[in-house]
A and B are shown apart, each in its own frame.
Chain A
Amino acid sequence: MYDSLKGRFGEFGGQYSAETLMRALGELEQSYGKISEDSQFKKELSNLFKNYAGRPSLLYYAKNMTGDLGGGRIYLKREDLNHTGSHKINNVLGQALLAQKMGKKRIIAETGAGQHGVAAATAAALFGLECEVFMGAEDMKRQRLNVYRMRLLGAGVTGVSSGTGTLKDATNEALRHWARRVEDTFYLIGSVVGPHPYPTMVRDFQSIIGNEVKKQIALLEGRLPDCLVACVGGGSNAIGLFYPFIKDTAVKMIGVEAGGEGLSTKKHAAAISGGSVGVIHGMKTYLLQDGDGQINPVHSISAGLDYPGIGPEHSYLHEIKRAEYVSVTDKEAVDALKYLTRTEGILPALESAHALAHAIKIAPGMKKDKIIVINISGRGDKDVYPVAEYEKEVL
């Protein structure tokens, strides 16, 4: 029955949105549908990817790590090397270009760790758009460096103290604001979440990650990888890596959720590993909730993964068992961040460190001719303070 409904991945996805926003969602769907087939748009976007974001990002063979772990060959997809320091720029350039083509002069965005907010503020500066970023008050404390970066870029940052003061609440506030300013404002969602067409559109823009990996690994190894590992909050870096490989069923795909202080505690953000199916932010998906449908407060050391839901396409890949979803704890993520920094001289974001932590667990058990690709979705400069705080170091 779901085939007849719009924007569905199996039973997941949909458009559980306020009536006031439905026209804007319809216009977005139409404009995106037209423009995604337009060769001029594709050319402009690929030019921006190359000459502005610095793509393609490297696929780096982690020789030290491979030798140290003694198992499969480890490659790192270096999204941390992109302009603004994470994969978020891919989606932002796509949507900002679309906003410009649609004649919008103003964009809004929600942000958790601030990576999407920084990317959105960057694109706004580049395209001459007005930009307002909604950010949880708690996250503003954790990521004050990024808050100031956004302000330097000319964006307004609006703190959101309702609820838990994190990404979920920033998203609520951005949706409320959009309902008020829907006629002149483009809502630039940062992950594969929200009502249709966002999960599909953001996935398309992020698929550059997997498409590049496919070409790069063919040149380096002459074959497909055996396993892909990526962290999942909303899940845009993961779906960007996975999507081009979905039909290559021999390629194993693993999404790593934020286990916080452990799944047996309530302090985690692992929607698939610890949640159930519900509706949040316009989509049907796995989420962390109680029996009355109230959204549970969630926790992760990584502000970018501190979100109670997950993109609907991940829920679908989980359900059809095409991808596997696991979780790692705050401590494992911090240890992995330190490990990569010492072993390869690469400081990853705490988000990406979740993917690393799981890869560190499974790589030793893999045969030496197996290939594992880990998505380093962002760089860790922004996480120096949170990690120091976690380690009880005073800077």
Chain B
Amino acid sequence: MLNRIDEKFNELKLKNRKALITYLAAGDPDIEATSVLVKEMVSRGADIVEIGIPYSDPVAEGPVIQRAHSRALSKKIKISDIMGIVKTVRKSVNVPIIYLVYFNCILQYGVDKFFNDLNITGVDGIIIPDLPFEERWEVDEFAARHNVHVITLVSPTSENRLSKMLKNPKGFIYCITSLGVTGMRNEFNTDFEHFIKTVKKYTSLPTALGFGISAPEHIRRLKDFSDGLIVGSAVVKKIEDSKNLNEALEKVGAFVSDLKGALDT
């Protein structure tokens, strides 16, 4: 059974194009906004949408996404609400949808039920920032059963671990641009050419760079290194800086268009 993530990267490869992956936190500023914002991002050129499940203790996130999670949780949003809204969004959106979710949320929801519901609601992949290779046994069986790709995160510190980590990866490889947490950065010190080349030694899957990519000029600088680019905090910041939903839609839409423009030129 082919997964939408694989189909998308195949399609892009044929067109000789790269994937634009954009993130928002579910329920920020409220759950209805998530539905329209996702559709807006897709209509403006997002190839894959990453939806963050808000968490009380998001240790991999910088301040911008932390605040988004707090805003969502202050509205008492539940994971079941998010599943419901994504199911509705899926009816009008064809691009792959990926969740970014901390492991304790999955564990308490019930691992089998969680992956089953991802399949039912049309979520294609999942990124679990606090579940390294060593603890992947917690989810692998259920992810395979329900045809959900668990995306492997690779960091600049992973080099000696890659042969174990990339034995049977799925979807694409999420390559973390630099040390630290998510958030907008002005410079990158990583040797991307070496980094991606090393990853490619172990897998033929597409790679996507994320963490800190926050402007069209970053896209122009980094796009030749990988098959996709992930923009998170900078999108969330547009939402945070908007006074109402219409303004957020306008700002996010224009920003995604700019990113897409930078990627396609």
Contacts and interface: CB of A to CB of B under 8 A. Distances in A.
A182 interface: yes
B56 A279 contact: no
Nearest to B160: A23
Interface stretch (B1-9, B15-23, B175-183, B226-234): B175-183
B60 interface: yes
Interface string B166-181: 0000000000100111
Given A23-B157, A182-B157, A279-B103, A17 B130 contact: yes
A26 to B, nearest CB: 8
A115 interface: no
Contact of A182 (B107, B108, B133, B179): B179
B180 A180 contact: yes
Max chain A Cβ within 10 angstroms of own Cβ: one of B103, B107, B132: B132
Given A18-B59, A180-B180, A279 B104 contact: yes
A20 interface: yes
A183 B108 CA distance: 34
A60 interface: no
B153 interface: yes
A16 interface: yes
Given A280-B104, A293-B108, A20 B56 contact: no
B132 to A, nearest CB: 5
Contacts of B56: 163, 294-295
A23 B158 contact: yes
Interface residues of A, number: 38
A172 B130 contact: no
A292 to B, nearest CB: 5
Max chain A Cβ within 10 angstroms of own Cβ: one of B56, B134, B156: B56
A262 interface: no
Interface residues of B, number: 40
A10 interface: no
B132 A17 contact: yes
Max chain A Cβ within 10 angstroms of own Cβ: one of B62, B104, B155, B158: B104
B157 to A, nearest CB: 4
A176 B129 CA distance: 12
B57 A292 contact: no
Contact of A293 (B109, B155, B158, B181): B109
A393 interface: no
A24 interface: yes
A18 B176 CA distance: 11
Nearest to A181: B179
Max chain B Cβ within 10 angstroms of own Cβ: one of A169, A182, A291, A294: A294
Interface string B114-157: 00000000000000011111110100000000000000011111
A295 B70 CA distance: 12
B57 A172 contact: yes
A6 interface: yes
B73 A294 contact: yes
Nearest to B73: A294
Contacts of A289: 104, 108
B215 interface: no
Contacts of B108: 278, 289-293
Nearest to B211: A20
A176 B181 contact: yes
B207 interface: no
A162 B158 contact: no
B102 interface: yes
Contacts of A175: 59
B60 A18 contact: yes
Contacts of B57: 163, 168-169, 172, 280, 295
Which 5 residue pairs of A and B lie closest in terms of their CB atoms, listed nearest first? A293-B108, A180-B180, A293-B104, A293-B105, A20-B155
Interface of B: 55-57, 59-62, 66, 70, 73, 78-79, 102-109, 129-135, 137, 153-158, 160-161, 176, 179-181
Given A16-B135, A19-B133, 17 more contacts: A14-B134, A17-B132, A18-B59, A19-B154, A24-B157, A26-B161, A162-B66, A181-B179, A279-B103, A279-B104, A281-B59, A292-B78, A293-B55, A293-B105, A293-B108, A293-B109, A294-B105
